[in-house]
Amino acid sequence: MLAARVSMFLAATFMGSVGLFVSHLTKGLGMQVFAAVEFRGLFGVAWVTAILLATKRLGVVKALLGHGRLVVAVTATTVLTVFFYFLTIDTAGLAIAAFLLYAGNLVAVLLMRVFLKEPMPRATYVAYGLAIAGVLVMEPWGDASLTWGVATGICSAVSLGFINLSKKLIFQKERERASAGGLGGRGGPTPTPIPIPVPALSLGITWYATLGLAATFAFAWAIDGQAMCAPDAIVPAVFLGLVPTALAFTFFNYALKSDTGGNVLIISYAEPVMASIFQLAFFGGIPIPVWIGGALIIAGNVVVLRARGISPGGIQGGPDAT
């Protein structure tokens, strides 16, 4: 479990840097935001493919097709989440878009409760309430506008919830395969497929998600191709595909495998905190509401840690779930 928590924190840290890259591409170089999303998907899938080739795990791409609809669900909901998120930014403002998107983790926990019957103690609701309140305090509400964009923001939250539910269902099926013993497993004339190792599975899920982004937002080349081909755009685009995309998505997937009732997922709320730290490092100055919001998010994580019987030094009881 410790490895899962560290992995989720790394995912949040890497994801927190996305604003730096996107801001540089859109505000610094004048690129359309959908072009930045295309770069994120294109270079994201390129990086993951390179990692899979280097580690001789490219076969996971084909193996994941055995999950059929769930892989399609992960890919489609990833695209929908991004699309609805940026549409909400355009119509209702960044604060509402970000707040509703972060609420998607609570949607995911509720979906896991309904479909996977995962236990959710009262402390979990308190913890997510604190984390969401932290995001509420942190966001700059000056540009907020209560328009129909709120509806698209809710759609982004629901889509995000279904992304994580679909991933959890894939992990669940892989655990069933592992418990069945792989080929030659229990019962029936059809042998049970060999389970996919978690690191390869995490990379494979990221591969399909980034491929979906690259394919869907390819229209950006037609409307902003000149800016996308500018030499100054290549380096930040390459790192946009690596840090807050390939690495962030894969570490997130690895961590989500060990989540139960949102006890690991809540660490992803460190993302806006880390984004603020990056803001301080590169541009200086963090407003007081950000400090308050960060404290609430940390408090939410502490509530989950205590509820699950985990001390700062590690796990007090139960097997390692990594």
Q: What is the mean pLDDT of each run of 10 residues along the chain (322 residues)?
A: 93 93 90 92 97 96 94 96 90 85 93 91 90 88 74 95 96 88 52 81 97 95 90 94 97 95 93 86 77 90 75 38 34
Using CA atoms, how far residue 219 sits from 37, 74, 113, 222, 278, in Å, is 11, 21, 38, 5, 31
- Look at residue 320 in the predicted model and tell me its pLDDT: 35
Tell me the C-alpha distance between 259 and 272, whole Å. Answer: 20
Tokens in use for 128? 């997510």
Tell me the C-alpha distance between 246 and 163, whole Å. Answer: 16
Tell me the C-alpha distance between 255 and 5, whole Å. Answer: 6
Count the Cβ atoms, other than its own, within 10 Å of residue 87: 17
- Look at residue 191 in the predicted model and tell me its pLDDT: 58
Q: Give the 3-state secondary structure of residue 58.
A: coil
- Look at residue 319 in the predicted model and tell me its pLDDT: 32
Using CB atoms within 10 A of its CB, is residue 178 exposed (0-12), middle (13-18) or buried (19+)? Answer: middle
- Look at residue 193 in the predicted model and tell me its pLDDT: 72
Q: In the chain, where does DSSP find H-type helix?
A: 2-15, 18-23, 33-54, 59-63, 69-92, 94-102, 104-115, 122-138, 149-180, 198-216, 220-228, 231-241, 248-256, 270-283, 288-307
- Look at residue 168 in the predicted model and tell me its pLDDT: 95
Q: Which residues of 9-41 are buried (b: 16+ CB within 10 A; e: fewer)?
A: bbbbbbbbbbbbbbbbbbeebebebbbbbbbbb
- Look at residue 195 in the predicted model and tell me its pLDDT: 85
What are the phi and psi torsion angles at 310 (to 5°)?
A: -115, 130
Q: 181 with 174: CB under 8 angstroms?
A: no
Using CB atoms within 10 A of its CB, is residue 187 exposed (0-12), middle (13-18) or buried (19+)? Answer: exposed
